Amino acid sequence: MGKVLVLYDSASGNTAKMATLVAEGAGSIPDVEIRLRKVDEATADDVLWCDGLALGSPTNMGLLSWKMKRFWDETMAPHWMKVDGKIGCAFSSSGGWGGGTELACQSLLTVLMNFGFLVFGVTDYATKLTTAHYGAITAREPREEGTQAACRLLGKRLAEWVAVFCDGRKDQHPLNKSDARLGPG
């Protein structure tokens, strides 16, 4: 059974709400086990356990938070070169649109790439005007239908890739499924 970890930092609860939605989306794919962990409680074993990781952080100066950086600097550093080939994606909440949310996603993906993760974006549109091409993003909490849908879609796609690439379940490949997929409309 494929294993998905949703690992996040959150100081005031906004990224935590996104994390719950990402986990919910991952849970829409059958036979995938899901763990939701806040960075303060997470251990290296959580990361070693998973096949796929959705990594979330509040946008801090356009980057991942210091706590999330410390987790990879200190907790995960001894495991560098031991987690190659896991699948990764990112999500972030910022104070406002244009505040660097996608830059923060890129910084999360950069960390994952350094550890050998295979990182991805989502081509589909979650709603007519919302995508998660570089990860799921929100300003503050995910209040709108579009930002909520983007979080769920990110988690769903992660679980699909885990099913396909880690469990050999080709039927879960998005191109082989009859689920409606939205492009720019």
Ligand X SMILES: Cc1cc2nc3c(=O)[nH]c(=O)nc-3n(C[C@H](O)[C@H](O)[C@H](O)COP(=O)(O)O)c2cc1C
Task: Tell me the closest approach of the beta carbon of residue 29 to ligand X, in angstroms.
Answer: 25
Could you say which of 39, 59, 71, 157 contacts ligand X (CB under 6 A)? 59
Helix (H) or strand (E) holding 33: strand 32-38
3-class SS of residue 156: helix
Q: How many helices (H) and strands (E) does the chain have?
A: 5, 8
Could you say which of 2, 88, 99, 155 contacts ligand X (CB under 6 A)? 99
Q: Does 140 bind ligand X (CB under 6 A)?
A: yes
Q: Hey, what are 124's tokens?
A: 């589909």
In 3D space, the residue among 58, 108, 50, 56 whose CA is nearest the CA of residue 79 turns out to be: 50
Where does this chain touch ligand X (CB under 6 A) — which range of 6-14, 27-35, 80-88, 166-174? 6-14
Where does this chain touch ligand X (CB under 6 A) — which range of 27-35, 87-95, 112-120, 150-158? 87-95
Q: Does 107 bind ligand X (CB under 6 A)?
A: no
